Amino acid sequence: MTPARKSVILGIVPQKHFHSCAGLLPAHDFFETAMKSETKRRVTACAAGFALPRYADLPQMGLYLDQTVQYVNGCFSTFRGVELTPSMVSNYVKKGILSHPVRKKYSREQIASLLYIVVSKTVLPMENIDTLFKMQRAHCSAGAAYDYFCDEMENCLPFVFGCTREIRDLAVDAADEKLLLRSTILAASNKIYLDCCFDAMRQEESLWPDILPDLA
């Protein structure tokens, strides 16, 4: 598959072409007139300074189920809809997507996998997530794959939220697994952004019944 063909199929275009194709605009551009400026600032602030722990920084000794869920959710606490539950984790283990915990503790590698899953599941079914897992692991270690995921998240998500105005382009000869991961993260980032926007607008609307009597 040629690089140009990959870009067309996966919906990936260089940043300079984003504004010439409405379907590929960052989600924040569609809300320029839909939200009040203060609401937009609050939504954008959700991604300000966003960073994920690298593989070397993940817990070394392993965490119990509830601790694992709390840790993963804590990494995305400012984003609506990015959430893990104990039953989800147990289901991933049952389906073989995640390996069994050792002595009821989840390892660094399993935590890294769950951080990837909690983002990807917003836009992909588990079957596709598992396929992308296998593609990445065929070319690099779990640690290298996770750290690359972190780099891509920190590149794409702040851009979608309007915190940055540029996104680093992939190399023209980027491997399929990198192209698929970029598409997944961009789609997930836009989904997360839209959820945050609609939630902020609902909160804004809910305030009016309380404010209007004071303005009368």
Q: Where are the domains of the chain?
A: 37-201
- Residue 26: predicted pLDDT: 55
Is the pLDDT at 212 greater than 60, yes or no?
no
Q: What is the pLDDT of residues 81-129, one digit of tens each?
A: 899 999 999 999 999 999 999 999 999 999 999 999 999 999 999 999 9
Q: What is the pLDDT of residues 41-58, one digit of tens each?
A: 889 999 999 999 999 999
- List, in order, residues 6 or more apart from 127 with CB less than 8 Å away: none
10 Å Cβ neighbour count for 93?
A: 16
Is the pLDDT at 61 greater than 80, yes or no?
yes
- Residue 19: predicted pLDDT: 38
Place of tokens 């809910």: 206
Place of tokens 């702040």: 158
- Smallest CA-to-CA distance from 153 within 115, 108, 124 is with 115
Is the pLDDT at 67 greater than 50, yes or no?
yes
pLDDT bracket for residue 210 (50, 70, 90): low
Q: What is the pLDDT of residues 151-191, one digit of tens each?
A: 999 999 999 999 999 999 998 899 999 999 999 999 999 99
- Residue 131: predicted pLDDT: 93
- The pTM is what? 0.79
In terms of pLDDT, which residue wins out, 33 or 196? 196
CA pair distance 82, 87, nearest whole angstrom: 15
CA pair distance 142, 145, nearest whole angstrom: 5
Mean predicted lDDT score pLDDT of the chain: 84
Please calculate the CA angle 38-82-99 and round it to the nearest 5 degrees: 160
Torsion of CA 55, 56, 60, 66, to 10 degrees: -40
